[in-house]
Structure 1
Amino acid sequence: MNEYLWIAMLLANFLFILLFYRLFGKTGLYIWIPIAAIVANIQVLKLVDIFGINATLGNIVYASSFLVTDILSENYGKKSAARAVLVGFLSLIASMCLFQAALWFQPSSDDWVQESMKNIFGLMPRIVLASLLAFGLSQIHDVWSYSFWKKKWPADRFIWVRNNASTMISQLIDSVVFTLVAFAGQFPKDVLLQIFLSTYLLKWIVALLDTPFIYLAVLMNRRGFIPEDI
């Protein structure tokens, strides 16, 4: 059951990105970055069994942010992609502050969600610190690497090369940094290793499968289906 849901969520993420892009242009891609960053940081707290491995849930939506920065790099250049990374940084910081502030309020005697919020958002500072480091290092590498490969092999037939060459190494950086900062000391070493391997494997699969969608995004832009910035 989890496998079918994972595939459905994967497809939904890619289609939502294209929908946002189609309706709002480049702005829509900037909108998706904070959605991916915030949702992933909540979903990552849930462990699931999928394809016979133990993995964190937030892999798909987080990995989709790399597709967004690659579309920005391909269609608008390195500066636009770097701006999206900054949007992601600020979104994580703002969400952490607001979530923590919500926990400081004294709940009403009729409240029934405070403890649940503590379980989720009480872990947010460490998760967000891990995300900030992982997101920053991996996305900076991704933007740089995509630009590097685009200059080396600029032809359209090599879009798949620069998309995958940049994203798969960036995902490795992201998985190493996030797993160590977020979960070191929280799980036994064997579980920690399994989380890292499963996280990277699933992100690698997402990176591989997003290739047709970057081609679609490029085609949509060149055919004039994408609106001007709003």
Structure 2
Amino acid sequence: MNAYLNGIFVGLLILSNIVSVKLFHIGDAIILPAAAIIYIFTYPLIDVTVEVYGKKAGRATVQAGFITQIMAMVFIIITINIPAAPAFQNQSAFETILSGSFRVILASLVSYIISQNLDVLVFNRLKTLHGRKKLWLRNNASTMLSQLIDTTIFILIAYYGTVPVQVLGTLILTQYIFKFAASVVMTPVVYLLVGLIRKNEQTGKSQKEQTFA
């Protein structure tokens, strides 16, 4: 099951990078990149991985995501710059959708590697203290802290110097409120995934024991 978690995690990361060029709004005050509705699912996946398979597996998943994002960036740059066939009339649209500024890409990578590793560290520390109890606490505490760090680092690197400081604060606050609420809503999903995986792992273990009995 760990392989499935890794695959879904990496896939969501790449997808979030692709759709990040679109902005959407909630009411009149909150403006978010479309990636936000995808990226919020990556933290529960990391938490589930650490809960079931341990800290080492969680860090390996984070590293795989980081490497994959760099590879995706390299290949996107290559595909943008190779000569377009005469029959292909959408080169400008292709570039607009897939090419982000260097600052945005850098902000994404830096905020990702710091916040996701922090999520693994905090979640694992709380699991060491509580064992299997209080999954809701370590899931929300690790995600809310790491999301705050992720949002702050990303916005500061991507937009500092290009917009007023008060706007930076508003962007950080509004995006974090959205992510905070999403973290709470996702808690039952974490419980569901952990339960299903542990049940599947136990079933597989029992079948193996019966086979060798």
1:34 equivalent to 2:39? Answer no
182-191 vs 197-206, which deviates more? 182-191
Q: 1:178 to 1:226 in 2, by over 3 A?
A: farther
Aligned partner of 1:80 among 50, 57, 71: 57
After TM superposition, what 4+ stretches of structure 1 lie above 6 angstroms from structure 2? 225-228
CA distance in 1, matches of 2:56, 2:25: 39
Query: What do residues 130-186 of structure 1 show as CA deviations (whole Å, max 9, x unaligned)?
Result: 111111000111000001111122243x00000001110000000011112223345
Q: 1:187 to 1:162 in 2, by over 3 A?
A: same
- Which runs of no fewer than 5 residues in structure 1 stay unpaired? 1-24
Query: Kindly, what percent of the aligned residue pairs are identical?
Result: 31
Q: 1:75 to 1:107 in 2, by over 3 A?
A: same
Larger Rg: 2
- Which runs of no fewer than 5 residues in structure 2 stay unpaired? 205-213
Query: 1:8-23, aligned counterparts within 5 Å?
Result: none
What's the C-alpha RMSD, in Å, of the aligned pairs?
Answer: 2.0
Report deviation, 1:114.
1.0
Aligned residue for 1:111, secondary structure, equals: coil
What TM-score, normalized to structure 2? 0.87
Look up the equivalent residue of 1:209 and give its one-letter code: V
109-118 vs 27-36, which deviates more? 109-118
CA distance in 1, matches of 2:164, 2:87: 38
1:148 equivalent to 2:122? Answer no
Report if the CA contact (8 A) 1:78-1:147 is conserved: yes
104-113 vs 25-34, which deviates more? 104-113
Number of residue-to-residue matches in the alignment: 203
Report deviation, 1:189.
4.3
**Counterpart residue number, 1:55:** 32
**Counterpart residue number, 1:181:** 157
136-145 vs 39-48, which deviates more? 39-48
Report if the CA contact (8 A) 1:56-1:195 is conserved: no
Bigger relative contact order, structure 1 or 2 (CA pairs below 8 A, ≥6 apart): 1
Q: 1:32 to 1:218 in 2, by over 3 A?
A: same
Q: 1:174 to 1:118 in 2, by over 3 A?
A: same
Report deviation, 1:112.
1.8
Report deviation, 1:26.
1.1
Q: 1:189 to 1:121 in 2, by over 3 A?
A: farther
**Counterpart residue number, 2:46:** 69
**Counterpart residue number, 2:100:** 123
Aligned partner of 2:80 among 76, 85, 103: 103
Aligned partner of 1:216 among 183, 192, 198: 192
What TM-score, normalized to structure 1? 0.81
1:112 equivalent to 2:120? Answer no
Look up the equivalent residue of 1:207 and give its one-letter code: S
Q: 1:112 to 1:193 in 2, by over 3 A?
A: farther
Look up the equivalent residue of 1:62 and give its one-letter code: Y
Aligned residue for 2:89, secondary structure, equals: coil
